[in-house]
Structure 1
Amino acid sequence: MTTFIFANNINTTLAGNVSTSATTITLSSSANLPSSIPSGSALVITLNDRATRQNYEVVYATAITGTTLTVVRAQEGTSALAWLTGDFVFDGPTAGQQASFAQTGGNNTWTGTNSFNGGISVTGTAAVTGNVSATAGFSVPNTVPYQLTSTAGPFSALYCSSGNQVVVGASTLPLILLGSSGGNVFGIGQTQQTVIRNYNTNYQNNTNAPIMVSCATSSTGAGSMGIYVGGVEVSNSTATGSGVALCAWAIVPPGVTYQYATTGSVSGTATFTEWR
């Protein structure tokens, strides 16, 4: 699909004759012409004869140099005609331009990279060939089957159940809600933070996503440092003497408590780092 550019009030005449095979046209004036046309885009121009005002040709200008346009002839169902010096040139709206616009009551297809600042609600079929970004969320109706397609072809049926889950085949996964804060996906919208924590004290992951917690310290004698998640030790580092580096890390699900626990001789100086 052609990407159009627009300009207001282009209304001039041809500065010279144009044959049916010509791919450039020269205008009498450059007034209101854009300075350039981006690669892959087109400016729609209509030609109209001065003698009868009954003959028209739509051309797509793809480049501009001064008053000379490089054009693709015979667009939108028109034919390439021979034009004379003084014939009219203007940039009125055309059916091809109008058909390229999205309509709220029609079926629309976007290609390329598109960003939507509001929410997107899909009640029918959504076909995406590029990237779609919605800062306020993307919703699809419940229990409507969807098919995922990769470069290898279709690979799964995907739909939203009435229980607010994404269903893939016979399996269910928690609904992934993406937003500016990252939703409930680990690593999205999160940053590595150095935090203040104390040993043997319970903390809770009060975010909507899993977080990764870690501690780096050293021993001052025989001792250990471990991380408990939900009351269960999931990571441990042990030393039999002083001066040994002790490191531990763990993933903490949303709403679950965790604790940096020590036994024996462990330095009171530690670095607590969390991805949250």
Structure 2
Amino acid sequence: MTVQLANNATSRLASSISSTDTTISVQPGDGAKYPTLTAGDTFPVTLLKSDGQLEICRCTARSGDVLTVLRAQEGTTGKSFAAGDRVEVRLTKGTWDQKFSEAMSHVFLTAPTNANTLIADNKFYTWMAGTVVTGGSNWPPYGGGVGAGFMDVRWISGDIIYQRVTLLANGKKPRVFDRFGNGTTWDAWKMASSLDDVDFRPTASAGDVFIDGEGFYRWNGSTYVKSDLSYSSLAALVSGVAAAMGPNQTTQDVGAGRAAGVSYVNSTARPIMVLVQATTTQTGGNLYATIGGVICQRSYIGATGSKVALQITVPPGVAYRIDAISSNIDMWIEYR
């Protein structure tokens, strides 16, 4: 339950009310001055007569200009009020006390504790002794030793509670776990931090876990094992990319060092792309390419003076040759 406030929210009763009426109407159009409430929210209302007599109420719902209220709050008594009496949002002691209680407060734990009971809103729980966790229940499935730690609790809505637990161990990265619940049933704890020690892997499924220097670990039904996203597989992927066409390669004009009918070898560690263009000297002129001793591509056959071209990809360490039939090569480009 959250207390809402609004600046300068004041109006007058549109009609008289008895000492027990629980709905009051303010002047037409003035309802918008008052806070908009969601489920569980309230705001304080002070009813004030012209002679100074007052009553403190608590508004639990507002529909337009009509307020639903709890009467006679904070030690005041129910009174009858006349049309025209004032209806104001005031910061009362009870409101202040509730607002203060909604601010985060600290609780120090010393005894073994059931984590399911730590559900007070805006509470900050801390402990020095690991027995609070190791001797308690419903804590995250931590691995390795446990010492001091702390937990934050938040109410997301009226029936959704969020817990975040941080477990500490000397010389190790803090282990952080999250979960949601309603105070009765809870989701499984999920690990929200990485680890720096493989021996500190959770003892039950808590989502994928990243371990520094190791990579990702995944629950296999009985323990955490290195997943396909481990450092070794990532290294293999990087190695594969490094061996592929593209990275650190450039387009080069190698025509001065190439000639038709001569075999060359791709001496690089990556595939290369070869593009050759020629001008035919008679009808039927063309180009054809041989890779690894196999004729693999032929250009179209052109009339005299036509431009013919072909493009091939040559694997690393493989020999290749371009033959020019009734044509003169005038461009030889390699992407290598």
Q: Provide TM-score, normalisation by structure 2.
A: 0.40
Q: Provide TM-score, normalisation by structure 1.
A: 0.48
Identify which of structures 1 and 2 has the higher relative contact order when contacts are C-alpha pairs closer than 8 Å and 6+ apart: 1
Greater helix content? 2
The structure with the largest alpha-carbon Rg is 2
